[in-house]
């Protein structure tokens, strides 16, 4: 039996985690067993998710299979973007300079700030009444 050739990358953004598998193919892009055009609602999300492939000009040479969970759809699109970039590095390490200069390998570490005790939210206070 022939081994399946695939390249793996994990992408994270806020609380979204994407597991991305790149397999040599014709350019099919599926997210959670749905086509990316159906899963990602806006055009901006679709473009964001496909950006690493377009930048490296490998759009038609890989099938992208991803599993995403957590977060919102926009954060999931960014997580997929990072996962694809990391999987491309596994495929060819010489792409690192191209991906790095566009900021696709940098993890966006911003997360939701926790709510503090004695306050209404993370930063919002309860309303102050002088009288």
The pLDDT of residue 70: 94
Residue 2 in this model has a pLDDT that exceeds 80 = no
E strand or H helix at 44: helix 43-55
Residue ranges and CATH numbers for the domains of the chain are: 7-101 (3.30.230.10)
pLDDT in tens, 20-66: 999 999 989 999 999 999 999 999 999 999 999 999 888 888 999 99
E strand or H helix at 23: strand 16-24
pLDDT in tens, 82-126: 999 999 999 999 999 999 999 999 999 999 999 999 999 999 999
Residue 18's φ and ψ, nearest 5 degrees, are -115, 130
Query: Model-level pTM?
Result: 0.89
Torsion angle, CA of 26/32/35/40, rounded to 10 degrees?
A: -120
Residue 1 in this model has a pLDDT that exceeds 70 = no
The pLDDT of residue 4: 82
């Amino acid at each position: 039996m022939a081994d399946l050739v695939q390249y793996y990358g994990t992408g994270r953004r806020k609380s979204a985690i994407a597991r991305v598998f790149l397999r040599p193919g014709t350019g099919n892009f599926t997210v959670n067993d749905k086509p990316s055009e159906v899963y990602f609602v806006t055009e901006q999300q679709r473009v964001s998710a496909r950006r690493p492939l377009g930048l490296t000009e490998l759009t038609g040479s890989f099938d992208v299979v991803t599993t995403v969970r957590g977060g919102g759809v926009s954060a999931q699109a960014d997580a997929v973007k990072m996962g694809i970039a990391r999987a491309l590095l596994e495929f060819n390490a010489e792409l690192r300079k191209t991906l790095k200069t566009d900021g696709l390998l940098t993890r966006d570490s911003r997360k939701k700030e926790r709510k503090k005790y004695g306050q209404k939210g993370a930063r919002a206070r309860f309303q102050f009444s002088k009288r």
